[in-house]
């Protein structure tokens, strides 16, 4: 079915991951006020701002549906009587998505299963991200003396879930190839 070497997969995966990861960082740089700022891209093609807006509005809607009073702006989510979170670039999951997308594209499978898995995976990553925002703003006490790096915890959890999911996705393909040979 597919006759690709592991080295080819690894090189394509690493190349795509680095491309996606650093493209997002570079794009963030040109759409953020600073030394590399390009107003045209910020005003017309700022997908990072649009994505943050989508995540914040989705989180706000879920919280409001849950009976709380939540509002959001371009960077913050506030729940009356609960808390506030600031959603910065590192909260968006673009690095995690870069890893996932690079792996799926690089893995030797037919286009249709790749696309289905790709879109389902991105949606699942971001559903978990939105749930993180909701739980943080409702239950996280910034004044607590307990040091909790929710970014690191979330990334570890997502990478574990992703590794398990990718393992079964790859193994599913191996089972089909083995069955076809018999």
Domain assignment present for residue 141? The answer is: yes
Q: What is the DSSP letter of 70?
A: E
pLDDT at position 137 over 60: yes
Domain assignment present for residue 118? The answer is: yes
pLDDT digits (tens, 9 = 90+) for 94-118: 999 999 999 999 999 999 999 999 9
Contact 128, 96 (CB under 8 A): no
* Overall average pLDDT of the 130-149 stretch: 82
- DSSP H helical segments within 31-142, as ranges? 39-44, 47-65, 94-106, 111-139
Give every strand in the sheet of 70-72, ordered side by side.
70-72, 76-79, 83-86
**Number of domains into which the chain is organized:** 1
pTM: 0.88
Furthest CA-CA distance within the chain: 63
Query: pLDDT tier at 145 (50, 70, 90 boundaries)?
Result: low
pLDDT digits (tens, 9 = 90+) for 42-73: 999 999 999 999 999 999 999 999 999 999 99
CA nearest to 82, candidates 104, 102, 100, 66: 66
Give CA separation, 167 vs 4, 47, 86, 107, 140, in Å: 18, 30, 34, 12, 33
Measure the CA–CA gap between 100 and 97, rounded to whole angstroms: 5
pLDDT at position 148 over 70: no
For residue 143, give the 3-state DSSP assignment: coil
Residue 153: the pLDDT is: 87
Residue 173: the pLDDT is: 65
Measure the CA–CA gap between 104 and 42, rounded to whole angstroms: 29
Contact 60, 74 (CB under 8 A): no
Residue 180: the pLDDT is: 52
- Its domain, for residue 82, covers 6-181
Query: pLDDT tier at 4 (50, 70, 90 boundaries)?
Result: confident
Domain assignment present for residue 150? The answer is: yes
Domain assignment present for residue 1? The answer is: no
Output the six-digit token pair for 170: 């790859």
Domain assignment present for residue 31? The answer is: yes
For residue 76, give the 3-state DSSP assignment: strand
């Amino acid at each position: 079915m597919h006759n690709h070497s592991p080295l080819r997969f690894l090189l394509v995966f690493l190349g795509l991951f680095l491309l996606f990861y650093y493209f997002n960082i570079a794009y963030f740089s040109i759409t953020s006020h600073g030394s590399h700022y390009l107003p045209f891209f910020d005003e017309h093609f700022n997908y990072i701002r649009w994505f943050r807006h989508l995540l914040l509005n989705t989180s706000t809607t879920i919280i409001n549906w849950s009976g709380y009073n939540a509002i959001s702006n371009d960077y913050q989510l506030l729940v009356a009587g609960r808390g506030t979170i600031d959603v910065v670039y590192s909260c968006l999951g673009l690095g995690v998505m870069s890893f996932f997308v690079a792996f799926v594209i690089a893995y030797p499978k037919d286009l249709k299963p790749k696309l289905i898995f790709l879109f389902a995976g991105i949606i699942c990553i971001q559903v978990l991200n939105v749930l993180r925002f909701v739980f943080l703003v409702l239950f996280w006490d910034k004044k607590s003396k307990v040091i909790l790096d929710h970014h690191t915890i979330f990334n570890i959890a997502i990478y574990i879930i992703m590794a398990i999911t990718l393992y079964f996705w790859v193994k599913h393909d191996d089972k089909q190839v083995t069955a076809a040979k018999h």
